[in-house]
Structure 1
Amino acid sequence: MFDGFTERRIATSGAEVHALVGGQGPALLMLHGFPQSHAMWHRVAPALAERFTLVLPDLRGYGLSAKPPGDPAHETYSKRANALDQVEVMAALGYERFLLAGHDRGARVAHRLVLDHPDRVERVAFLDIAPTLEVFARIDQRMATAYYHWFFLIQPGGLPEHLIGLDPEFYLRRVLGSIGSTADVFGEEAFANYLTAFRDPATVHAMCEDYRAAASIDQVHDRADRAAGRVVTCPSLVLWGRNSAVGRLYDDPLGIWRPYAPGIQGQEMPAGHFIPEEAPEETARALMEFFG
């Protein structure tokens, strides 16, 4: 899926991160989401690699990256810890400043990264999310139904890990086909990549810890930023799917984002949640226009 890319494994202060690096031009770090890996970028990478040096990591706990055990406070899988991983990955590759794009959980890591390390990022793109605090604050029956996994995956005592482990492929297909996209939009090789990781109990535990962090420590960090008046100051973009929960259930995604990123621009995409795989040409075009 990634001809011409080089595989790297980089030790950070908290994990070992697997990444692919390829292309030429300014550095563009691209962060995947749940329940995927770097493979989610395979349909947009060829076009983007003509203009940018792409860095496509697996977030800690996902794909081929290390899967450290969780902790009671869920700090190990906080967006702050993940963001630091990525800053250290880029520094190890020789990039002190870079462009940044993230989808789903990767977009939440990207949001934390530009707040914690604003001097590192020139421009940032968020794909199909509303800020975490807003998601929890705006929950109603429709949103809770669409995002039921936010509340399933945070259950304690290994409950979601056990239930998912009984039939990982069933659950993976259900998630991929239930957020405004259909399961048949995913390429066979990419799906096989997701499934291989998903069959690893350590990956499933890490994914649950990611969501547990969002329901706890991440909100502590986000509220501290809001109280201090910290916002995204670099040029920012949000893309949302017409058929995703963001597109269907929020009347004004840009308006939701503006208190967090006052200068943000954005547009609706002809897709569900998994925009880069469902609308790759449109996604690549929007990112190239934004990043220059």
Structure 2
Amino acid sequence: MSLVELPVADDLFPGFRLFDVTTSGARIRVRTGGEGPPLLLLHGYPQTHIMWRRIAPQLAQRFTLVCPDLRGYGDSEKPPSAADHAPYSKRAMAQDMAEVTTALGHDRFFLGSHDRGARVGHRLALDHGERVLKLATLDIAPTREMYRDTTDAFARAYWHWFFLIQPAPMPERMIEADPEFYWTSRRASDMKLFEPAALAEYLRCFRDPAMIHASCEDYRAAATIDIAHDDADGGKKVACPLLALWGDRGAVGKCFDVLALWRERAENVQGRALPGGHYLAEEIPDLVVAEFSAFFGENT
């Protein structure tokens, strides 16, 4: 493992430091700042750690935030994949995060997560349960159970789940033809949530064919090797307290009983719908800060 500090070229996270951490599997870009117990924040698809910019200033007053780009995303490395998609399994991506936190000196930490990052967080809490104090997830239910209980309504709303898992290079070639159109048109109603500087960062990263391929591999892994890992766990559940939050206007809460599915996979689950869509940390940042502060701040 190696840790290299980098110059900061933007003002999206005032006062934060920027590092590259080389783990056993990939070089991970991470931004960190704040004071207090460590809180690891994992982003979703097709974004980067920039998604936490609206909640970071408030949370940094109580927590030391660790905001990485997941393997394959943003400015983190995009390692080659394999036929079984193992390099983009949530186990491999969770191992990166375990090593990143170690490199930064955090043996145990809280974990807040959104979308794909929450799937990495779920695996991190299973494989490294002694290190994760509490886990909060934004707008997901467990992957295996969502595939198991998929309905027509969910498939129509989350068509990209079934598009991105098609064999390479079909989805990659189609997205690469116009990555900006793909990124913006499939979430046109959410464009108002992203300030120009943040949107420019998202698109800068997503125009990279290596990120497009890596993100497809993330989804292919979710539909295959990640489920195999879940099945191999048997009845093992997340032991730490888990807070599940979702948007009341999003598809996840409309198509699934979020708390019931999480109780299949975790021992101590609480949560509720929040008044928003999928991008809760950007749409209703104050509410997310309040929920995270109450959950992670209890007994600290």
What CA distance in whole angstroms lies between the structure 2 residues aligned with 1:113 and 1:176? 28
Paired position in structure 2 for 1:216: 224
Which 4+ stretches in 1 moved above 4 angstroms? none
Summarize the alignment of residues 72-91 of structure 1 with structure 2, pairs less than 5 Å apart.
72-91=83-102
Instruction: Give the alignment partner of residue 255 of structure 2, picking from 249, 267, 281.
Output: 249
Q: Deviations over 1:137-162 (max 9, x none)?
A: 11111110011101101111301110
User: Shift of the alpha carbon at 1:113?
Assistant: 0.3
5+ long unaligned stretches in structure 2: 1-11
Equivalent position of 2:18 in the other structure: 7
- Secondary structure in structure 2 of the residue aligned to 1:182: helix
Deviation at 1:182, TM superposition (A): 2.2
Q: CA deviation at 1:254?
A: 0.9
Show the counterpart of 1:205: 213
Cα shift readout 1:170-213 (whole Å, capped 9, x = no counterpart):
10012333xxx622111111111110011000000000000000
Name the structure 2 match of 1:168: 179
The answer for the alignment partner of 2:263 in structure 1 is 258
Where does 1:57-96 land on structure 2 (aligned, <5 Å)?
Answer: 57-96=68-107
Would you say 1:30 and 2:30 are equivalent positions? no
How far 1:248 moved relative to its partner? 1.9
Question: Counterparts of 2:168 and 2:145 in 1: how far apart (Å)?
Answer: 27
Describe how 1:129-168 pairs up with structure 2 within 5 A.
129-168=140-179
Aligned partner of 1:268 in structure 2 is 273
Mapped to 2, the partners of 1:176 and 1:185 lie a distance apart of: 10
Q: Check whether the contact 2:241–2:267 (CA below 8 A) recurs between aligned residues.
A: no
SS in 2 for 1:118: coil
Q: What is the CA distance between 1:53 and its match in structure 2? A: 0.3
**Cα shift at 1:262:** 2.5
Query: 1:90: how far off?
Result: 0.3
Q: Distance in 2 between matches of 1:71 and 1:33?
A: 22
Match of 2:197 in 1: 189
CA shift, 1:246, in A, is 1.1
Q: How many residues are matched?
A: 286
Q: Which residue of 1 aligns with 2:3?
A: none
Give distance in 1, aligned partners of 2:165 and 2:191.
24
Q: Which amino acid aligns with 1:217?
A: I
Given the two structures, how large is their TM-score scaled by the length of structure 1?
Answer: 0.96
- Which of 271, 276, 287 aligns to 2:292? It is 287
- Percent of aligned pairs sharing the same letter: 54
Counterpart Cα distance in 2 of 1:118 and 1:157: 34
Structure 1: unaligned runs, 5 residues or longer: none
- Equivalent AA in structure 1 for residue 48 of structure 2: S
**Is the 2:151–2:255 contact (alpha carbons within 8 Å) kept by the matching residues of 1?**
no
Q: 1:217 & 1:279 partners in 2: Cα distance? A: 34
SS, match of residue 119 in structure 1? coil
RMSD: 0.9
* Deviation by residue 1:92-141 (Cα, 9 ceiling, x = unmatched): 00111111011000000000000001101111101110100111111111
One-letter amino acid of the counterpart of residue 33, structure 2? G
Number of the residue aligned with 1:231: 237
In structure 1, how many angstroms separate the alpha carbons of the residues matched to 2:187 and 2:112?
A: 20
Deviations 1:35-79 (A, max 9, x none): 000000000101100000000000001000001111111000000
Amino acid at match of 2:13: F
